[in-house]
Amino acid sequence: LRFTNISAEKATLWWSPPENDVTHLTEGYEYEFRVMAENGAGVGPPSGTSRLFKCREPTSSPSAPTLVKVIDSTKTSITLEWTKPVFDGGMQIIGYIIEMCKASLEEWHRVNTQTCIQTRYTVTDLEPGEEYKFRVCAVNGAGKGETSEIPNAVQALDRLTSPEIDIDADFKQTHIVKNGGTVTLHIPFRGKPAPLATWTKADGELGVMVDINTTETFSTLTIENCTRYDAGKYTLVIAENQYGQGEPYEMSEPIIATEEPAPPKRLDVIDTTATTASLVWMKPEHDGGSRITGYIVETRKKGSDRWVVGGQTKSLKMVLEGLVENTEYEFRVKAQNDTGVSYPRDALTSVIVKEPRIEPTADLSGINKQLITCKTGSSFAIDIPISGRPAPKVTWKNVLFFIFTVPPSPPTRPDVVSVSATAIAIKWDVPYHDGGSQVTGYWIEKKERNTILWVRENKIPCLECHYKVSTLIEGLEYQFRVYAMNIAGLSKASEASRPVLALNPVGMYYFNNY
């Protein structure tokens, strides 16, 4: 704080801004301020009160709207369109002001008395053929912003444009309407002069209940009291005007007019038991324009007036259970779709639920001449067709059992497990098939290298899968093979073992492979 121009009656005071602003204020509230001076003698009286200040972010007028352009015109009107300003000045845009002037005068005046809320405005009451300039500015709480002017002067004339159709998502979807309902197709279009519009139906003519309403900007097709004959695809055809010809537009998805399906055809009871009845039927003549979702089968006792739902199914047959034996029943079936249920189809006659009596029979015609081929170790079955109601009890009589045995398959190739100068021990595995009879023993044969003669080694059958061959000549090379034996005889010889020298082991066994 410093003083200048000091006199007996006054002094001028200078001070620097405070180090800190006023803080902890509430946004949106209005505040008043005053200042008091302080020196060594104390605090002086306050200054006068400031004007009201509203606590909010700093604001200014908005920037100019962008892309101001003319989108339509007639002899007496011009329609403008623009986009919002890039900067709103920190406050909400409350509207727009449109100004215009004749291109020859450059005298601007406001068009709209009330601010325009939308980003589109139609200026009316213009002189036909006159050229005009337009500009637009945005308005917020701080005031008017900068203006944005159309690039060139525009003349008030009727515009000629070729027809165009505006298709929304609702028109592109499948329209499903119940029998007797109403469906409406609404299509907006553009074009000057206003084009003519007609509707057609693929694969047929428009029904008598079709009502078409066409204006300069849209066409509406309404079908009242729909039936399945109204189902199909509809096309809007836009006729040409002086400026061009429009393209027809066909619905991508059809109108589906649905009703209840026709009744199923011919219901028959094909079988009964003591507590069940088997029914079959045929598909309806038509599905009512909607897929058949199932069938409802109903039943009632003869003489009763109350139908009871016996079950539902998606197939063309059903077995009703829980019926009372020796009771006469009536049956009927209904078809169902998304719209509703058809009229019922009744069975031709009522049926007494009972177990039918059919004499049991067995067809043995194919047994005597039947040839059965079966591999060793496999099994086989003999099938005999039988029939009868109730289901007959089957027993086999005079059955003869035969046991067929054959020699077993060969044992596996013998392996040498130990070697000395006069003895060699071998082992093997049992045959893959025993031939239908238990293996009772094994016979072992040996052969020296320089001979083709195999000599049986054991005098009695070997009962285990290993054997020690003794009394060998040191230094000679030997091979061994094994036979399996059962009640039917000997198997074929196994594969010969590897050649091995009869020597005392030194380090490790020596095998000569050739």
Give domain status of residue 295, yes or no. Answer: yes
Find tokens 């177990």 and name the residue.
Answer: 355
Give domain status of residue 244, yes or no. Answer: yes
Residue 171 DSSP code? H
Whether the pLDDT of residue 252 is over 60: the answer is no
Residues 108, 168, single domain; the answer is no
Domain holding 15, by residue range, is 1-56
Give domain status of residue 97, yes or no. Answer: yes
- β-pair partners for 241: 244
Comparing 462 with 164, the larger pLDDT belongs to 462
Residues 458, 489, single domain; the answer is yes
Q: What pLDDT score does 402 carry?
A: 66
Comparing 45 with 56, the larger pLDDT belongs to 45
Q: What pLDDT score does 380 carry?
A: 75
Give domain status of residue 424, yes or no. Answer: yes
* Cα–Cα distance for residue pair 354/328, rounded to 1 Å: 9
Average pLDDT, the chain: 84
Structure tokens at 133: 């300039």
Whichever domain contains 26, its CATH number is 2.60.40
pLDDT tens digits, 172-224: 666 666 667 777 777 777 777 777 777 777 777 777 778 888 887 787 878 77
Q: What pLDDT score does 514 carry?
A: 41
* Cα–Cα distance for residue pair 107/103, rounded to 1 Å: 9
Give domain status of residue 404, yes or no. Answer: no
> What is the mean predicted confidence (pLDDT) over 122-145?
92
Give domain status of residue 387, yes or no. Answer: no
pLDDT class of 513 with cuts at 50, 70, 90: very low
Residues 344, 428, single domain; the answer is no
Find tokens 């005046």 and name the residue.
Answer: 109
Whether the pLDDT of residue 418 is over 60: the answer is yes
* Cα–Cα distance for residue pair 326/351, rounded to 1 Å: 10
Give domain status of residue 454, yes or no. Answer: yes
> What is the mean predicted confidence (pLDDT) over 476-487?
95
Domain end call among 329, 353, 377: 353
> What is the mean predicted confidence (pLDDT) over 28-37?
85
Residues 300, 317, single domain; the answer is yes
Residues 135, 198, single domain; the answer is no
Q: What pLDDT score does 316 carry?
A: 95
Residues 178, 150, single domain; the answer is no
Q: In the chain, what percentage of residues exceed pLDDT 90?
A: 43
Answer for the pair 404, 452: CB distance below 8 angstroms, yes or no. no
Residues 288, 225, single domain; the answer is no
User: Collapsing DSSP states into helix, strand and coil, what is residue 2?
Assistant: strand
Task: Give Cα 53 distance to the centre of its chain.
Answer: 61
User: Collapsing DSSP states into helix, strand and coil, what is residue 170?
Assistant: helix
Which range is least confidently modeled, 7-21, 368-382, 443-457? 368-382
How many domains does one find in the chain? 5
Structure tokens at 224: 């009242």
pLDDT tens digits, 93-121: 999 999 999 998 889 999 998 999 999 99
Residues 139, 165, single domain; the answer is no
Whether the pLDDT of residue 393 is over 80: the answer is yes
Give domain status of residue 367, yes or no. Answer: no
Whichever domain contains 232, its CATH number is 2.60.40.10
Q: What pLDDT score does 221 carry?
A: 78
Letter for the amino acid at 171?
A: F
> What is the mean predicted confidence (pLDDT) over 359-370?
74
Q: For the range 411-414, what are the long-range contacts, defined as Cβ-Cβ under 8 Å and sequence gap of 24 or more? A: 411/442, 411/465, 411/482, 411/483, 411/484, 411/491, 411/494, 412/494, 412/495, 413/494, 413/495, 413/496, 413/497, 414/444, 414/480, 414/481, 414/482, 414/494, 414/496, 414/497
Whether the pLDDT of residue 359 is over 80: the answer is yes
